[in-house]
């Protein structure tokens, strides 16, 4: 599966203009996928749920901030 992931990342690089940040994101995503594969299923699920909660918290905070800013 690693070869497939690298090939998919390579196709992404070929199709889109790629910056250093994009390459960093691709490599980070591959490393994260590997860590989650090697992690016990329960732990991986807990990490995914925790990350989703974090993202929702950031979105909620941002929406509240801009809604308060609009009302000024």
pLDDT tens for the chain, residues 1 to 72: 677 887 787 777 776 655 656 778 888 888 988 888 888 888 888 988 999 999 999 999 999 988 887 776
pLDDT reported for residue 21: 61
What is this structure's pTM? Answer: 0.49
φ, ψ of residue 27 to 5 degrees: the values are: -65, -45
Q: Range of 72's domain?
A: 40-72
Q: Do 72 and 46 belong to one domain? A: yes
**Domains in the chain: how many in total?**
2
16: alpha, beta or left? (left if phi > 0; alpha if psi -120 to 50): beta
pLDDT reported for residue 49: 94
Q: How far apart are the C-alpha atoms of 65 and 58, rounded to whole Å?
A: 10
pLDDT reported for residue 18: 56
Q: Do 44 and 31 belong to one domain? A: no
């Amino acid at each position: 599966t690693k070869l497939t992931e690298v090939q998919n990342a390579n196709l992404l690089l070929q199709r889109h203009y790629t910056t250093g940040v994009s390459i960093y994101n691709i490599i980070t995503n591959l490393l994260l996928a590997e860590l989650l594969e090697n992690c016990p299923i329960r732990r991986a699920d807990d990490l995914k749920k925790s990350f989703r909660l974090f993202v929702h918290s950031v979105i909620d905070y941002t929406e509240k901030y801009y809604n308060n800013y609009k009302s000024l």
